[in-house]
Amino acid sequence: MRLSASNLRVASAFGLLVVFAMAACVVADENERPPIEYSKREPANCVSRLQSRLSQGELQLEYDEERGYLASLLKALHVPVESQMLVYSKTSLQRDHISPRTPRAVYFSDDVYVGFCQGGDVLEVSAVDPQLGAVFYTLDQQEADEPRLRRQTDNCLTCHSSSRTDGVPGHLVRSLFVDPAGQTILSSGSFAVDHTTPLHQRWGGWYVTGTHGTQTHLGNLVVRGKELATTTTNAAGQNVTRLDDRLNVDKYLTPHSDIVALMVLEHQTLVHNRLTKANFAARQALWNQQEMNRAFGDPEDKPLESTARRIQGAGDDLVEALLLVDEAKLTAQISGISGFAEKFASRGQRDRQGRSLRDFDLQQRLFKYPCSYLIYSAAFDGLPPAMKDYVWKRLWDVLTSEAPTKPFDHLSKTDRLAIIDIIRATKDDLPTCWTATGSR
């Protein structure tokens, strides 16, 4: 039987797809293949830039006998100490140093996360790289003439590049039931946490300081004896403002594990993962398109429907995260006590009315204007042009709709107009649909 030209083209395409599928079986991790090449690529992020300054002698880290390089590193990376959160589940590289009496401290800013363990061998650092997603480093906690932040590409990815992080090198927040030794009670279940998670499922294995009214959570809970974790009451864990009866807070930079910092962390890790997924999906789709077109002798930039679908899928997921779709509703005022909320909001870029995407609500939802401040991040700006164009257009269509349908019906007209005004006043290089005279 002779095949027509169109059938021959379909058959050839199928054969090429089979080859691609076989290649995927040979290489276990798609992110290690072109165009991503995660482990081979040279990072370009706040930590790699800091290491360059250290290597060139432009900056030095100061060592402290109590906490090693922690305070100096946070200062060098512009990470606020008020962001401190304490986690006592053994879910880290240095699990032997972690327990309810000696929790791991986590600090963060918009583009980096730092972990500290009492007596730990290293500081654990994760930077958000615009092209590689989460890039992991360690800094030895032994005093050295030339301290060095060393990239890690193996151990960290076991947990931080999986279905729980959208299949990309990313960040993960979990809520677990924990015993007095810090061991997780996996038989009682666990929760992956982001801004969509109900409060009553959050913060198992974490200390939580601050007030939240009648709302409940799993923070500050240690399951003792033969109690069933799922039926254990946690009345003593609610509205906690001091931790000095549970651990020696003097071992840490602050005595807090701030509730607002925790909520921001959970939003931020979700958006960071979606940004990386959108970046990788667009680059991989465009690379596959180029390879397919080259195989058929077509122009390399000839558009394919599959490319558009992949960009749309990952772009839609990112837009939903940016606009806090399905955010868990708050039913009482949330108040932190570390000063994190004030410091976080003070860094906001503001319009003429003084409004910022970093302004908090904390009564019914996390932010007053439900659009993520991470649209200002290097990770957002580093999206491939095809993906960034799609995301900006999709954001515009949602925000200018007269009556948004699900999943965007949580955005009131007042919300949408405020978000548009703030972005227009504070974000550079907006596309034409956002800047055209008379648009909105």
Residue 403: pLDDT above 60? Answer: yes
Across the range 225-248, mean pLDDT stands at 85
Between CA 386 and CA 367 the distance in angstroms is: 29
Task: Report the pLDDT value the prediction gives residue 343, as an integer from 0 to 100.
Answer: 97
Between CA 75 and CA 83 the distance in angstroms is: 13
Residue 113: pLDDT above 60? Answer: yes
Rounded to two decimals, the pTM is 0.91
Task: Report the pLDDT value the prediction gives residue 85, as an integer from 0 to 100.
Answer: 98
Name which residue leads in pLDDT, 262 or 92: 262
Nearest C-alpha neighbor of 124 from the set 146, 100, 108: 108
Between CA 370 and CA 196 the distance in angstroms is: 13
Task: Report the pLDDT value the prediction gives residue 67, as an integer from 0 to 100.
Answer: 98
SS3 137: strand
Across the range 376-403, mean pLDDT stands at 97
Residue 270: pLDDT above 60? Answer: yes
Domain residue extents for the chain: 1-33, 46-260, 271-435
Task: Report the pLDDT value the prediction gives residue 156, as an integer from 0 to 100.
Answer: 62
- Per-residue pLDDT tens for 4-55? 433 333 333 334 333 333 333 333 389 999 999 999 999 999 999 999 999 9
- Per-residue pLDDT tens for 192-218? 999 999 999 999 999 999 999 999 999
Percentage of the chain beyond pLDDT 70 is 90
Neighbouring C-alpha atoms within 13 Å toward the C-beta of 297: 2
User: Where is average pLDDT lowest: 11-20, 55-64, 405-414?
Assistant: 11-20
Task: Report the pLDDT value the prediction gives residue 187, as an integer from 0 to 100.
Answer: 85
Name which residue leads in pLDDT, 105 or 224: 105
Run of H or E including 193: none
Name which residue leads in pLDDT, 228 or 335: 335
Task: Report the pLDDT value the prediction gives residue 416, as an integer from 0 to 100.
Answer: 98
Q: How confident is the model at residue 166 (pLDDT cuts 50, 70, 90)?
A: confident
Task: Report the pLDDT value the prediction gives residue 286, as an integer from 0 to 100.
Answer: 96
Q: How confident is the model at residue 77 (pLDDT cuts 50, 70, 90)?
A: very high
Task: Report the pLDDT value the prediction gives residue 161, as an integer from 0 to 100.
Answer: 63
For the chain, give the longest Cα–Cα distance. Answer: 82
Task: Report the pLDDT value the prediction gives residue 1, as an integer from 0 to 100.
Answer: 36
Residue 249 and residue 243 in contact, taking contact as beta carbons nearer than 8 Å: yes
User: DSSP state, 45?
Assistant: S
Between CA 84 and CA 86 the distance in angstroms is: 7
Average pLDDT, the chain: 91
